[in-house]
Chain A
Amino acid sequence: MNSKAQVTGWADVCAVSDVIPGTGVAARINGAQVALFHTEDGFFALGNHDPFSDANVLARGILGDIGGKLVVASPVYKQHFCLHTGICLEDMAVNVPTWPVTVRDGRVLVAQQPSAQ
């Protein structure tokens, strides 16, 4: 992103009930586009940008598990990205950034900065 100013701490994004279990939504975190997913195992945040299609769409992918890994499938060309690591299952050299997420008092909080790779 353009703004290099360091922002730390958590961004209050939405209520837990705002995201239907088993689906994702897009959110703005510190200017960046983030895909926020509500799974049975809690919330996860990945970059919304799909490196294969060059479109901001990962939040609209279908969630699931492949070989024990929680994943989202890109809605464009169907590659799977691991929700924990952002790594693409079909091409391990490709990954998308991940953001720490936490839930407090029924609110979903996403870290202002992505996790270090």
Chain B
Amino acid sequence: MGKPALVIIGNGMVGQSLLETLSGLTHDYAITVFSAEPRPAYDRVQLSSWFSGATTEDLALTTEAFFTEHGIRLLLGEAVARIDTAGRCVEGVSGASVAYDKLVIATGSYPFVPPIPGNDQAHCLVYRTIEDLEAIRDSATSSKCGVVIGGGLLGLEAAKALKDLGLDTHVVEFAPRLMAVQLDDGGARVLRHKIESLGVKVHTGKATQAIVAGETSRYRLEFADGETLETDMVLFSAGIRPDDKLARDAGLEVGERGGIVVNDRCQTSDPDIYAIGEVALWSGRIYGLVAPGYEMARVCAAQLTGDGSRTFTGADMSTKLKLMGVEVGSIGDAQGNAPGATTCVFEDGPAGIYKKLILDAEGKKLIGAVLVGDTADYGMLLQYCLNEMALPQQPAALILPASSDKPSLGVDALPDSAQICSCNNVTKGDLCSAIAGGCTTVGGLKTDTKAASSCGGCAALVKQVLDAELVRQGIEVNNDLCEHFAYSRQELYHLVRVHEIKTFDALLEKFGKGHGCDICKPTVASILASCWNEYLLKPQHAGLQDTNDYFLANLQKDGTYSVVPRVPGGEITPEKLIVIGEVAQRYDLYTKITGGQRIDLFGARVEQLPKIWSELVEAGFESGHAYGKSLRTVKSCVGNSWCRYGVQDSVAMAIFVEERYRGLRSPHKLKMAVSGCTRECAEAQSKDIGIIATEKGWNLYVCGNGGMRPRHAELFASDIDDDTLIRYIDRLLMFYIRTADRLQRTSVWRDNMEGGLEYLQDVVINDSLNIAEELEHQMQAVVDTYVCEWKRTIEDAQALRRFDAFINDDSADEHIVYVRERGQKRPARPEERQQLMAEAQPVRFDPQARTEKGEPA
């Protein structure tokens, strides 16, 4: 008997979610996936970001490697022609036939194109797949004006895309208001005003009757009321229809208006066939949102793996989103259709804010809400609504502008079953048990529970639950750096700045106690260096430094050090390469190429470091700061000077950036990379700062990480010029240095940041804290005071004395012993060392050993 065969039709967001859920469960299915599209699942919710700089890769939700890793057969570009329920097999359009024991239909939906004469012309397009986006982009190159037919959620997203493409953009809606499903008249009016102020023309109550040849443009729309509108392109976004043709043809039960009928287990009328996502009709409803689709995927995965108890019980259709920069939220019965419903409305016309509460007949419970222009209250209101909680005495106060007496939800009142994160189905109870298990940060909760890790909409609520729960469980979060300072790193940074403190002793005297330790000393040394950039080995700073900073080299396991000269951007002349080779040969250093396009020389004893560096500095090398919590390297691809595909000079930019930020002391090490085109050969999206060339300038990615916990960098700004790029990096890095915890990489810093990427963009790009100038100024001060630490050290007789192996003796450490392997030395293992030391006994304390340049192996 072979494994049971599971076939999944469709690899959209929900289909992929099913695969990921299954991969985390125990099962023995042999899985085959049919995907009509030519690429694995991508994020359809974020499609419009494709026009503001995100690449197809950015939108990807998975990779082909995922399928290989889990042994899943993926048939890309293979649409399904037929389901044979009698023969229990699925036939692909190219003739492939795959037998199934269980089948899941996750074909999603297709865009509805109204039956208007002329709707099939070349520049009449839809908006759903990456191929659609490419067609829109191509059409836009020969168009000046574009019309979106449909003023719903997707229509407005599409309008943003046309706006980003530089078209004169119109939205035509049949209903009398925008977002007719989610908003009421008042909310729609405010939204319309805001969108029009962005330059998009809105036409409501317009029924398009024909698309004919235009006079001034390519086409002309003819409306039922006799008016017309000229345009070069038409984009249909008038709703979606479940893609249920396969099921229909196979004789499965479908709804009157489409959709495959499923039960609470997501089973169709054939119990071995399941349907999930936008194609499934549950209890007479189609859910056109991704969160209910994910929940169906979880239910289906449970059913397939034998957990029959998990069922789909419906989903809340509340939404919160940002349309063309306008925040919109809709909860529950937004139109107030329930009998006897009453409302509270707050409207601030000039600010473009509209909020409405819909209460039940008694005015005791919240049954719906509309929010336009400000959705800060969304999470709180949603909880009131979903959990049917009693409202405060004056419900209207909930939507008034923030003031001291504004009632807060009091997350304590929420039941443990309250769903906090709908994307990943995380309840308050899940969060509480993670907190009880020792998790005390938002970042930790994201990792442990996945809450707030998808859309991030619930981040503020997660934080509130965390804070309340820590208090309730009596867990005290101690941010004290160590026993000597009752302050966090961030607080110490401020104290150093504000009080202009220049030494550790002064800080300890004023704000600390005791003598200090190996936690606070290097932390304070780093803060002092970030602020004042003084020479690290000044006597008052020397004792604070970790051994790497003290000897300006990297300690290895045998007590020797490694040496990394700076090779900016990874560009090096043959002459310099030869010098490195000669130095390595002379001191018999083990030589290895690093991941950051540099050369690491291992096995240098402390007393050799000054001599090695004299030779390197003489040849024009500088310290590479491989030893510091500071900028390491800026990796680059070769760029447009040589590469056929490059669009910018990535090497020149990498060198510029590396030379600007070299030596900058920060809470942890910093890595950067610059790629010359979207192929991304420098792997910039795994760096703290990633810069990727575009035709128009640079895309800036931030807070990525490789290492133990890889994190993709996020797109921070698109198509910016050189000056803007540097300005943003200046501000971002200084803000990081100012606010991060000790040894916190930018990735964790970002994960813990309330408000997330948007907040960071607000601070750095929009200067919401009014500190941009100060941050730039502080960075410039560091840049202006840069001195190569090694150049300075070899000129300083006093500093050089510290590199003596022994203060009273010229001998070398007899404990450092090497053996040869693959043509180079490596530290002897303990047993090898014992033997070699015994043999070398007579020359152990030879004073000549120190002055000889070559070391006997």
Contacts and interface: CB of A to CB of B under 8 A. Distances in A.
Interface of A: 11, 13-14, 18-23, 25-28, 31, 33, 36, 39-40, 49, 53-57, 60-67, 70-71, 73, 75-76, 78, 80
B807 interface: yes
Given A14-B808, A18-B807, A62-B522, A40 B483 contact: no
B543 A63 contact: yes
Nearest to A62: B518
A78 B547 CA distance: 11
A73 B543 contact: no
Contacts of B544: 22, 62
Given A75-B546, A76-B555, A33 B517 contact: no
Instruction: Determine chain B's interface SS by DSSP, over half rule.
Output: loop
* CB-based closest 4 A-B pairs: A22-B543, A64-B517, A55-B559, A73-B518
Nearest to B815: A56
B805 interface: yes
B546 A20 contact: no
A57 B518 contact: no
A27 B808 CA distance: 6
Instruction: Determine chain A's interface SS by DSSP, over half rule.
Output: strand
A65 B517 contact: yes
Given A27-B807, A28-B806, A66-B483, A20 B542 contact: yes
Contacts of A60: 547, 550-551, 555
Given A55-B558, A57-B555, A60-B551, A25 B517 contact: no
Contacts of B539: 20-21
Interface string B520-544: 1110000000000000000100111
Nearest to B811: A28
A80 B546 CA distance: 14
Most chain B CB within a 10 A radius of its CB, from A22, A63, A80: A22
A33 B515 contact: no
A96 B754 CA distance: 47
Interface residues of B, number: 36
A21 B521 CA distance: 14
A12 B484 CA distance: 35
B808 A28 contact: yes
Given A66-B517, A76-B555, A25 B807 contact: yes
Contacts of B516: 63-65
B823 interface: no
Given A20-B539, A26-B806, A70-B515, A56 B813 contact: yes
A56 B606 CA distance: 12
A58 to B, nearest CB: 10
A65 B514 contact: yes
A75 B806 CA distance: 17
Given A55-B558, A62-B544, A62-B546, A27 B514 contact: no
Nearest to A58: B559
Contacts of A13: 807-808
A53 B807 contact: no
Nearest to B827: A55
B809 A39 contact: no
A40 B515 contact: yes
A11 to B, nearest CB: 8
B830 interface: yes
